[in-house]
Amino acid sequence: MPCKRGLLALTCVAVCLGVVAQTPQERAPVFITAGKLLDARTGQMLSDQAILIAGDRIQEIGPAARVAPHASARSRRINLQSFTVLPGLIDAHAHVLGNLKDLSPLQALRISSAQGALWGAHNMLTWLDHGFTGLRDAGESDPAYGQLALRDSIEKGLVPGPRMASAGNFLSVTGGHGDADVLAADQALPRRPNLADTTDEIAIAARRDIKYGADWIKLMATGGVQDVSSDYNSQELSQEQMAKAVEIAHRAHKRVMAHAESPEGIKAAVRAGVDSIEHGTMLDEEGATLMAERGTWLVPTLFAFQHLASIGASAGQEEIEAEKTKAILPFQQAAFTRALQHKIRIVFGLDDDPDFLPREFEALVRAGLTPAQALQAATINAAELLGWSKQAGTLDAGKYADLIAVRGDPLADITSMRNVVFVMKGATIMKDTTSDVAAGPRP
């Protein structure tokens, strides 16, 4: 029975497309023609382009008239002349485990690690459906590291999903933003190994993440918004603790990301040597200058706060979480404008239910990026932050055949990113609705 097109097709992709059975070397060459194609390096749109794919890599790309003669008679031909082709997108701030529509503080405590990972396998399909062939998991509260098992299963072809880099647990202080124990004192859970109240303890927690395979170390530099106890105005981990985590991670050739909202927490994390600041919602002038000088990346996650403020205490949110979101949101635009003025490098990150992925592009453009810059944040910039520049982020010979097609021109109208009709990861077609009648933008 043939697979249906669209999101449902992803559930049977391994059977329909032979993901497991066929090695890249066994696949027939692919020849793709594109009416428009985004050059992610320049932000320019090119016309009448073609891509020749061998195995899971791009073999040749350029003007169709030049590439076409090199396509063999056995090449599979894909016509994307009516669409805009872009590199596969990368979400650099994802949380993948569990039911992502349930915002209750107790959600992660109601399901097992195994069930959370199965939810994660389901959630991967939504990232693919929206054209994201890569993501960075920004840490999970699962002490059994279901996200790392999911990452490895995708790499082995056991389940479909984007390429993943992943942090381990949230390294946090007792009672901080990464402390999953939200119970009363006389009902408290056993202390989890991600909690670190001293420099020695942060070293142990970082080494544990590295031991079990984390690509990134995630630090909670400040309190957060989506919890019932921490204060986003307060720095939590000390600069000394964060510097120790950076020392250990960098020595192990890992990178470090820091959740940071308040000005002092941001600056302490940057001085400690982290590679990226997540959110940065209250970034001040001194912090922006410091980030620019140190080359620290910013993953601003703009839409997540806007969305959470709009829904208030619903979808399981506690009233205190809704109040904190509304209180911090007015700082967001000024901080982002400051980042742009200092030419801080911006990377796309959603930090929300992946159904809303296209909305982060729109939020970035509303906040001051051009459509081209917003697309670069999810392609070439994200690939550089993740250390993937030799493999992904642009459409170039030798890189993975990770590409997508959308209806419309996102440089003219960024809402075109709601209309992903074709997704290819490593030369395997993960979605193809190019022959469907256009139904207008997604919600």
Residue 398 in tokens? 């030798």
pTM of the model: 0.93
pLDDT for residue 25:
57
pLDDT digits (tens, 9 = 90+) for 23-61: 555 678 999 999 999 999 999 999 999 999 999 999 999
CATH match for 7-88+393-432 among 3.40.50.1370, 2.30.40.10, 1.10.357.10, 3.40.50.450: 2.30.40.10
Count Cα neighbours of 214 within 13 Å in the Cβ-side half-sphere: 33
pLDDT for residue 361:
98
pLDDT digits (tens, 9 = 90+) for 202-244: 999 999 999 999 999 999 999 999 999 999 999 999 999 999 9
pLDDT at 15 over 50: no
Amino acid at 275: D
pLDDT for residue 434:
95
Q: Which three-class secondary structure state does DSSP give residue 22? A: coil
pLDDT digits (tens, 9 = 90+) for 269-287: 999 999 999 999 999 999 9
**Would strands 216-220 and 44-54 be described as parallel, antiparallel, or unpaired?**
unpaired
Count Cα neighbours of 275 within 13 Å in the Cβ-side half-sphere: 22
pLDDT for residue 340:
98
pLDDT for residue 108:
83
pLDDT for residue 316:
86
CA 146/CA 140 separation, integer angstroms: 8
Smallest Cα–Cα separation from 161: which of 39, 14, 355, 269?
14
Smallest Cα–Cα separation from 437: which of 1, 3, 6, 2?
6
pLDDT at 9 over 70: no
**The CATH fold of domain 89-352:** TIM Barrel (3.20.20)
pLDDT at 443 over 90: no
Count Cα neighbours of 428 within 13 Å in the Cβ-side half-sphere: 27
CA 151/CA 127 separation, integer angstroms: 14
pLDDT at 73 over 60: yes
Portion of the chain with pLDDT greater than 90, in percent: 87
pLDDT digits (tens, 9 = 90+) for 116-137: 999 999 999 999 999 999 999 9
Sign of CA dihedral 320, 323, 325, 327: negative
Confidence tier at 317 by pLDDT (50, 70, 90): confident
pLDDT for residue 295:
98
Q: Which three-class secondary structure state does DSSP give residue 365? A: helix
Cα–Cα distances in angstroms (integers) from residue 14 to residues 20, 38, 124, 148, 282, in the given order: 6, 29, 14, 21, 45
Domain borders along the chain are 7-88+393-432, 89-352
pLDDT for residue 109:
86
Smallest Cα–Cα separation from 133: which of 167, 93, 91?
91
